[in-house]
Structure 1
Protein backbone atom coordinates (compact mmCIF):
# COMPACT_ATOMS: atom_id res chain seq x y z
CA UNK A 1 0.00 0.00 0.00
CA UNK A 2 1.26 3.46 -0.91
CA UNK A 3 1.02 6.21 1.70
CA UNK A 4 -0.48 9.42 0.35
CA UNK A 5 -0.02 12.80 1.98
CA UNK A 6 -3.04 15.14 2.00
CA UNK A 7 -1.98 16.86 -1.26
CA UNK A 8 -1.52 13.58 -3.16
CA UNK A 9 -4.83 12.32 -1.77
CA UNK A 10 -6.55 15.49 -3.01
CA UNK A 11 -4.96 15.10 -6.45
CA UNK A 12 -6.18 11.50 -6.65
CA UNK A 13 -9.73 12.51 -5.63
CA UNK A 14 -9.86 15.31 -8.21
CA UNK A 15 -8.53 13.11 -11.02
CA UNK A 16 -10.89 10.29 -10.06
CA UNK A 17 -13.78 12.71 -10.52
CA UNK A 18 -12.42 14.22 -13.76
CA UNK A 19 -9.27 12.79 -15.34
CA UNK A 20 -9.31 15.52 -18.00
CA UNK A 21 -8.58 18.39 -15.61
CA UNK A 22 -5.92 20.72 -16.94
CA UNK A 23 -2.85 20.82 -14.72
CA UNK A 24 -3.36 24.50 -13.79
CA UNK A 25 -6.99 23.80 -12.77
CA UNK A 26 -5.95 20.74 -10.76
CA UNK A 27 -3.18 22.76 -9.07
CA UNK A 28 -5.63 25.51 -8.12
CA UNK A 29 -8.13 23.02 -6.72
CA UNK A 30 -5.56 21.37 -4.45
CA UNK A 31 -3.79 24.65 -3.58
CA UNK A 32 -0.31 24.11 -5.05
CA UNK A 33 1.77 25.59 -7.87
CA UNK A 34 1.23 24.10 -11.35
CA UNK A 35 4.86 22.93 -11.56
CA UNK A 36 4.54 21.16 -8.20
CA UNK A 37 1.26 19.61 -9.30
CA UNK A 38 2.79 18.33 -12.53
CA UNK A 39 5.65 16.72 -10.61
CA UNK A 40 3.29 15.13 -8.10
CA UNK A 41 1.02 13.69 -10.80
CA UNK A 42 4.07 12.27 -12.60
CA UNK A 43 5.27 10.72 -9.32
CA UNK A 44 1.81 9.20 -8.70
CA UNK A 45 2.04 7.54 -12.13
CA UNK A 46 5.59 6.31 -11.43
CA UNK A 47 4.53 4.86 -8.05
CA UNK A 48 1.61 3.05 -9.67
CA UNK A 49 -1.06 4.96 -7.76
CA UNK A 50 -2.47 6.32 -11.01
CA UNK A 51 -2.44 3.66 -13.72
CA UNK A 52 -4.12 5.59 -16.51
CA UNK A 53 -6.88 7.94 -17.55
CA UNK A 54 -9.85 6.53 -19.41
CA UNK A 55 -12.81 7.85 -21.33
CA UNK A 56 -16.18 6.77 -19.99
CA UNK A 57 -18.24 5.88 -23.04
CA UNK A 58 -22.03 6.06 -23.15
CA UNK A 59 -22.60 2.56 -24.55
CA UNK A 60 -26.14 3.38 -25.72
CA UNK A 61 -24.81 6.20 -27.90
CA UNK A 62 -22.62 3.74 -29.81
CA UNK A 63 -25.39 1.20 -30.35
CA UNK A 64 -24.89 -1.00 -27.28
CA UNK A 65 -27.66 0.04 -24.86
CA UNK A 66 -28.08 -3.33 -23.13
CA UNK A 67 -25.50 -4.00 -20.41
CA UNK A 68 -25.23 -7.07 -18.23
CA UNK A 69 -23.05 -8.67 -15.59
CA UNK A 70 -22.48 -12.35 -16.23
CA UNK A 71 -21.27 -14.58 -13.40
CA UNK A 72 -19.15 -17.45 -14.69
CA UNK A 73 -18.03 -20.60 -12.90
CA UNK A 74 -15.47 -22.83 -14.59
CA UNK A 75 -15.42 -26.61 -14.30
CA UNK A 76 -12.91 -28.02 -11.78
CA UNK A 77 -10.70 -29.46 -14.55
CA UNK A 78 -10.52 -25.99 -16.16
CA UNK A 79 -9.04 -24.23 -13.11
CA UNK A 80 -5.63 -24.21 -14.78
CA UNK A 81 -7.15 -22.14 -17.58
CA UNK A 82 -8.23 -19.17 -15.43
CA UNK A 83 -5.71 -16.75 -16.89
CA UNK A 84 -6.28 -17.86 -20.49
CA UNK A 85 -10.06 -17.61 -20.04
CA UNK A 86 -9.80 -14.08 -18.58
CA UNK A 87 -7.53 -12.96 -21.41
CA UNK A 88 -9.80 -14.46 -24.07
CA UNK A 89 -12.85 -12.72 -22.57
CA UNK A 90 -11.05 -9.36 -22.35
CA UNK A 91 -10.39 -9.39 -26.11
CA UNK A 92 -14.06 -9.70 -27.11
CA UNK A 93 -15.65 -6.46 -28.35
CA UNK A 94 -18.75 -6.83 -26.16
CA UNK A 95 -16.69 -7.12 -22.97
CA UNK A 96 -16.13 -3.95 -20.95
CA UNK A 97 -14.56 -5.49 -17.83
CA UNK A 98 -13.50 -8.89 -16.53
CA UNK A 99 -13.34 -9.42 -12.77
CA UNK A 100 -11.58 -12.47 -11.28
CA UNK A 101 -13.40 -13.36 -8.06
CA UNK A 102 -13.04 -15.28 -4.83
CA UNK A 103 -16.15 -17.19 -3.83
CA UNK A 104 -18.62 -19.43 -5.62
CA UNK A 105 -18.08 -17.83 -9.04
CA UNK A 106 -14.76 -17.46 -10.80
CA UNK A 107 -15.50 -14.41 -12.94
CA UNK A 108 -17.87 -11.52 -13.34
CA UNK A 109 -17.96 -10.27 -16.93
CA UNK A 110 -19.42 -6.85 -17.73
CA UNK A 111 -20.75 -6.71 -21.29
CA UNK A 112 -22.60 -4.24 -23.50
CA UNK A 113 -24.63 -5.38 -26.51
CA UNK A 114 -27.09 -3.99 -29.05
CA UNK A 115 -29.97 -5.95 -27.55
CA UNK A 116 -31.20 -9.14 -25.94
CA UNK A 117 -30.57 -11.29 -29.03
CA UNK A 118 -26.92 -10.22 -29.21
CA UNK A 119 -26.56 -10.82 -25.46
CA UNK A 120 -28.07 -14.30 -25.86
CA UNK A 121 -25.66 -15.07 -28.72
CA UNK A 122 -22.71 -13.84 -26.66
CA UNK A 123 -23.61 -16.13 -23.75
CA UNK A 124 -24.29 -19.13 -25.99
CA UNK A 125 -21.27 -18.73 -28.24
CA UNK A 126 -18.58 -17.48 -25.85
CA UNK A 127 -19.68 -18.96 -22.51
CA UNK A 128 -22.21 -21.79 -22.50
CA UNK A 129 -20.64 -23.28 -25.62
CA UNK A 130 -17.19 -23.36 -24.03
CA UNK A 131 -16.28 -26.75 -22.58
CA UNK A 132 -14.53 -25.30 -19.52
CA UNK A 133 -17.56 -23.28 -18.40
CA UNK A 134 -19.75 -25.02 -15.84
CA UNK A 135 -22.33 -22.29 -15.18
CA UNK A 136 -23.33 -18.76 -16.10
CA UNK A 137 -25.86 -16.39 -14.60
CA UNK A 138 -26.78 -13.17 -16.40
CA UNK A 139 -28.04 -10.06 -14.63
CA UNK A 140 -29.19 -7.06 -16.64
CA UNK A 141 -27.95 -3.62 -15.60
CA UNK A 142 -30.68 -1.00 -15.39
CA UNK A 143 -28.46 1.86 -14.25
CA UNK A 144 -24.80 2.41 -13.42
CA UNK A 145 -23.54 5.21 -11.18
CA UNK A 146 -19.95 5.68 -10.08
CA UNK A 147 -19.35 6.25 -6.37
CA UNK A 148 -18.82 10.00 -6.73
CA UNK A 149 -21.94 10.26 -8.94
CA UNK A 150 -24.06 8.61 -6.23
CA UNK A 151 -22.95 11.19 -3.65
CA UNK A 152 -23.53 14.10 -6.06
CA UNK A 153 -26.94 12.77 -7.05
CA UNK A 154 -27.96 12.29 -3.40
CA UNK A 155 -26.93 15.83 -2.44
CA UNK A 156 -28.78 17.27 -5.46
CA UNK A 157 -31.97 15.48 -4.39
CA UNK A 158 -31.81 16.69 -0.76
CA UNK A 159 -34.24 19.52 -0.02
CA UNK A 160 -32.60 22.86 0.73
CA UNK A 161 -32.42 23.66 4.43
CA UNK A 162 -33.59 27.05 5.65
Structure 2
Protein backbone atom coordinates (compact mmCIF):
# COMPACT_ATOMS: atom_id res chain seq x y z
CA UNK A 1 0.00 0.00 0.00
CA UNK A 2 1.38 3.37 -0.94
CA UNK A 3 0.99 5.96 1.80
CA UNK A 4 0.32 9.62 1.11
CA UNK A 5 1.61 12.47 3.25
CA UNK A 6 -1.89 12.74 4.80
CA UNK A 7 -1.71 9.02 5.72
CA UNK A 8 1.69 9.60 7.32
CA UNK A 9 0.33 12.60 9.23
CA UNK A 10 -2.55 10.48 10.54
CA UNK A 11 -0.20 7.68 11.57
CA UNK A 12 2.14 10.09 13.38
CA UNK A 13 -0.74 11.71 15.25
CA UNK A 14 -2.29 8.37 16.27
CA UNK A 15 1.07 7.02 17.45
CA UNK A 16 1.43 10.07 19.65
CA UNK A 17 -2.11 9.76 21.00
CA UNK A 18 -4.42 6.98 19.83
CA UNK A 19 -7.29 8.48 21.82
CA UNK A 20 -7.72 11.46 19.51
CA UNK A 21 -11.28 11.78 18.33
CA UNK A 22 -11.84 11.78 14.59
CA UNK A 23 -12.63 15.50 14.83
CA UNK A 24 -9.35 16.23 16.64
CA UNK A 25 -7.40 14.03 14.23
CA UNK A 26 -8.94 15.75 11.20
CA UNK A 27 -8.16 19.22 12.60
CA UNK A 28 -4.60 18.21 13.42
CA UNK A 29 -4.02 16.75 9.95
CA UNK A 30 -5.85 19.49 8.05
CA UNK A 31 -8.47 17.21 6.49
CA UNK A 32 -12.22 16.90 6.50
CA UNK A 33 -13.62 14.61 9.21
CA UNK A 34 -15.19 12.25 6.68
CA UNK A 35 -11.94 11.98 4.70
CA UNK A 36 -9.93 11.37 7.86
CA UNK A 37 -12.34 8.67 9.01
CA UNK A 38 -12.14 6.91 5.65
CA UNK A 39 -8.33 7.10 5.63
CA UNK A 40 -8.10 5.59 9.12
CA UNK A 41 -10.49 2.79 8.15
CA UNK A 42 -8.45 2.08 5.00
CA UNK A 43 -5.23 1.96 7.05
CA UNK A 44 -6.86 -0.51 9.46
CA UNK A 45 -8.22 -2.71 6.66
CA UNK A 46 -4.81 -2.74 4.96
CA UNK A 47 -3.12 -3.86 8.18
CA UNK A 48 -1.02 -0.70 8.48
CA UNK A 49 -2.73 0.11 11.79
CA UNK A 50 -2.83 -3.10 13.79
CA UNK A 51 -4.14 -1.83 17.15
CA UNK A 52 -5.11 1.25 19.14
CA UNK A 53 -3.38 0.93 22.49
CA UNK A 54 -2.47 2.71 25.70
CA UNK A 55 1.17 2.96 26.68
CA UNK A 56 1.61 2.35 30.40
CA UNK A 57 4.56 3.47 32.51
CA UNK A 58 5.84 0.38 34.40
CA UNK A 59 7.13 2.64 37.20
CA UNK A 60 3.56 3.79 37.84
CA UNK A 61 2.69 0.14 38.44
CA UNK A 62 5.48 -0.28 40.99
CA UNK A 63 8.09 -1.64 38.56
CA UNK A 64 10.59 1.21 38.11
CA UNK A 65 13.61 -0.94 37.19
CA UNK A 66 13.93 -2.05 33.57
CA UNK A 67 16.50 -4.37 32.07
CA UNK A 68 17.31 -6.03 28.79
CA UNK A 69 18.14 -9.71 29.05
CA UNK A 70 20.03 -11.13 26.08
CA UNK A 71 19.40 -14.87 25.84
CA UNK A 72 21.51 -17.37 23.94
CA UNK A 73 19.76 -20.66 23.15
CA UNK A 74 21.11 -24.02 22.01
CA UNK A 75 20.39 -25.59 19.70
CA UNK A 76 19.36 -22.66 17.52
CA UNK A 77 16.13 -23.93 16.03
CA UNK A 78 12.72 -22.37 15.59
CA UNK A 79 11.20 -25.03 17.84
CA UNK A 80 13.65 -24.22 20.66
CA UNK A 81 13.00 -20.48 20.34
CA UNK A 82 9.22 -20.95 20.34
CA UNK A 83 9.38 -23.30 23.34
CA UNK A 84 11.52 -20.77 25.23
CA UNK A 85 9.12 -17.91 24.43
CA UNK A 86 6.19 -20.04 25.58
CA UNK A 87 8.03 -20.69 28.85
CA UNK A 88 8.80 -17.06 29.70
CA UNK A 89 6.13 -14.88 28.08
CA UNK A 90 3.52 -15.65 30.70
CA UNK A 91 5.55 -13.75 33.32
CA UNK A 92 4.29 -10.24 34.08
CA UNK A 93 7.88 -8.95 34.33
CA UNK A 94 8.25 -9.17 30.55
CA UNK A 95 7.36 -6.05 28.59
CA UNK A 96 8.38 -7.45 25.21
CA UNK A 97 10.46 -10.13 23.57
CA UNK A 98 12.34 -9.84 20.29
CA UNK A 99 13.80 -12.77 18.35
CA UNK A 100 17.00 -11.56 16.67
CA UNK A 101 19.83 -12.88 14.51
CA UNK A 102 23.45 -13.27 15.54
CA UNK A 103 24.98 -14.67 18.70
CA UNK A 104 21.97 -13.68 20.79
CA UNK A 105 18.67 -15.37 19.98
CA UNK A 106 16.13 -13.52 22.11
CA UNK A 107 16.17 -10.09 23.70
CA UNK A 108 13.77 -9.64 26.62
CA UNK A 109 12.81 -6.24 28.00
CA UNK A 110 11.61 -6.60 31.57
CA UNK A 111 10.34 -4.30 34.30
CA UNK A 112 10.69 -5.22 37.97
CA UNK A 113 10.35 -3.57 41.36
CA UNK A 114 13.75 -4.42 42.85
CA UNK A 115 17.17 -5.79 41.92
CA UNK A 116 16.26 -8.93 43.86
CA UNK A 117 13.20 -9.47 41.69
CA UNK A 118 15.34 -9.06 38.57
CA UNK A 119 17.85 -11.62 39.83
CA UNK A 120 15.11 -14.05 40.79
CA UNK A 121 13.40 -13.68 37.42
CA UNK A 122 16.65 -14.11 35.48
CA UNK A 123 17.88 -17.10 37.46
CA UNK A 124 14.65 -18.94 38.19
CA UNK A 125 12.54 -18.20 35.13
CA UNK A 126 14.93 -17.53 32.25
CA UNK A 127 17.74 -19.95 33.04
CA UNK A 128 15.29 -22.66 34.08
CA UNK A 129 14.66 -23.37 30.39
CA UNK A 130 16.99 -26.22 29.42
CA UNK A 131 17.80 -24.63 26.07
CA UNK A 132 19.33 -21.50 27.63
CA UNK A 133 23.08 -21.52 27.09
CA UNK A 134 23.74 -18.10 28.60
CA UNK A 135 22.16 -14.79 29.51
CA UNK A 136 23.52 -11.27 29.81
CA UNK A 137 21.54 -8.67 31.71
CA UNK A 138 21.80 -4.94 31.00
CA UNK A 139 20.08 -2.30 33.13
CA UNK A 140 18.04 0.26 31.21
CA UNK A 141 18.81 3.83 32.24
CA UNK A 142 16.32 5.39 29.86
CA UNK A 143 13.78 4.07 27.38
CA UNK A 144 12.35 6.10 24.52
CA UNK A 145 9.95 4.87 21.91
CA UNK A 146 10.05 6.49 18.54
CA UNK A 147 7.00 6.34 16.29
CA UNK A 148 7.38 3.90 13.41
CA UNK A 149 6.63 6.48 10.77
CA UNK A 150 7.08 10.16 11.10
CA UNK A 151 5.46 12.70 8.86
CA UNK A 152 7.75 15.22 7.23
Note the C-alpha offset of 1:106.
Answer: 0.5
Q: TM-score, normalised on structure 2?
A: 0.90
Match of 2:43, SS state, is helix
Is 1:90 matched up with 2:84?
A: no
Q: Which runs of 5+ in 1 are unaligned?
A: 149-162
Root-mean-square deviation over aligned CA pairs: 1.5
Note the C-alpha offset of 1:79.
Answer: 4.9
Q: Distance in 2 between matches of 1:98 and 1:129?
A: 17
Change in 2 beyond 3 A, CA 1:77/1:59 = closer
- In the other structure, the counterpart of 2:7 is 8
- In the other structure, the counterpart of 1:157 is none
Change in 2 beyond 3 A, CA 1:102/1:23 = same
Note the C-alpha offset of 1:40.
Answer: 1.0
Change in 2 beyond 3 A, CA 1:128/1:78 = farther
Structure number with the higher helix fraction is: 1
Note the C-alpha offset of 1:86.
Answer: 2.0
- In the other structure, the counterpart of 1:21 is 20
Q: Is the 8 A contact 2:74 2:80 kept in 1?
A: no
- In the other structure, the counterpart of 1:138 is 137
Match of 2:143, SS state, is coil
Change in 2 beyond 3 A, CA 1:77/1:141 = closer
Q: Distance in 2 between matches of 1:64 and 1:70?
A: 16
Change in 2 beyond 3 A, CA 1:79/1:42 = closer
List 4+ stretches of structure 1 deviating above 4 A. Answer: none
- In the other structure, the counterpart of 1:103 is 102
Q: How many residue pairs are counted as aligned between the two chains? A: 147
Q: Is the 8 A contact 1:68 1:138 kept in 2?
A: yes
Larger RCO (CA under 8 A, 6+ residues apart): 2
Q: TM-score, normalised on structure 1?
A: 0.84
- In the other structure, the counterpart of 1:50 is 49
- In the other structure, the counterpart of 1:69 is 68
Q: Distance in 1 between matches of 2:64 and 2:125?
A: 20
